[in-house]
Amino acid sequence: MAQDAPVELKLHWEPGQTYVQESDTDTTNFLTALGKTSDQKLRLHQTTRIAVQKNAQSQTEAQVLIESLLGEMTYEGKSHAFDSKNPGASHPALQQTLGGAAGRGFTLVYDAEGRFLDAKDTGSMVMGGVTPDLTSIADARQLATLYRRSLEMGLPKIPVRPGDKWISDEVVPFPQTGTVQVKLNAKFDGIVDREGRRQAQIAFEGVMKSQRDKDSTGRDLSTQRPVTLGDDSKVNGHIFFDLERKTISLAVFSATIQLKIEGKPMPVRQQVTTRLISMKPTGTP
């Protein structure tokens, strides 16, 4: 392949393969802006396993499972640890936020051309047991959508050459803040050799802002969410896309978010680093 030939940078799930990803998320909530005595820091390490297979309709199903979660919260000079293997031993706030995350999952379904069709099997992420909470059902579907959109964020819709630039404009549902518009200016920096593989390097920067909630007909609702994003929330980062395996080997997102909590501004700084740890035939150790 010539260095300047256009390449397709489209995420592909290969049936018969199992992917393992690790994500590290560092978040600082500047609570002092709300009058608290100190800020809050949260570090998370998540391992996610994605087993891919064809179904009877020749569709591709990517079964996503959150395998484990480690966390550490620092607040008012104290550190509190969380381990999904023993959630009951952690701080109540961490139990409430992270307690049921590990062991949950969902399935993403794609057609034979790789177009996304639906998210299913979200039941393990729904709260409420026998009588599930409708909001929880919606949140579970949103989390599946958020996972898929975050993987594809910044990737071009058409084949591109090194040096090409494009705008990625996505509407992403977040469980707490609702619909968020993420508009990125991206650039294909070039093809590099990384970990012995040819990989496309993409850089991006952009803005995020809350959108009004809409009803089923697309009309704006008058409901006010207690938490929204200010218009001056910014994001930047870079992606390495493995050209042979057609998947992202490394993605780094850094965001400076201006949250508004019941009208009061609270800055949040967050960095998310996601790595592909392995891609192996399903069933191999």
CA distances from 158 to 14, 100, 154, 155, 164 (A): 20, 38, 12, 9, 11
pLDDT reported for residue 131: 42
Q: What is the pLDDT of residue 3?
A: 54
The pLDDT value recorded for residue 123 is: 67
The pTM of the full predicted model, rounded to 2 decimals, is: 0.85
The answer for 167, left when phi > 0, alpha when psi is -120 to 50, beta otherwise, is beta
pLDDT computed for residue 127 by the predictor? 45
Other beta carbons within 10 Å of 133:
12
> What amino acid is encoded at 187 in this protein?
K
Q: In sequence order, what E strands does the chain have? A: 17-29, 40-54, 60-75, 78-83, 105-110, 116-120, 165-174, 178-194, 197-210, 227-229, 233-242, 247-261, 264-281
List 180's β-bridge partners, or say none: 172, 210
Q: Which amino acid is at 91?
A: H
- The pLDDT of residue 141: 67
- pLDDT score recorded for residue 11: 94
pLDDT value, residue 137: 42
The whole-number pLDDT of residue 136 equals 43
User: For every one of its 285 residues, what pLDDT tens digit does the chain have, with 9 covering 90 and above?
Assistant: 455 789 999 999 999 999 999 999 999 988 888 888 889 899 999 999 999 999 999 999 999 999 998 989 888 888 988 888 887 888 787 777 777 777 888 999 999 889 999 888 876 554 444 443 444 444 566 677 778 888 888 999 999 999 999 999 988 877 677 788 899 999 999 999 999 999 999 999 999 888 876 655 666 666 667 778 877 899 999 999 999 999 999 999 999 988 888 778 889 999 999 999 999 999 887
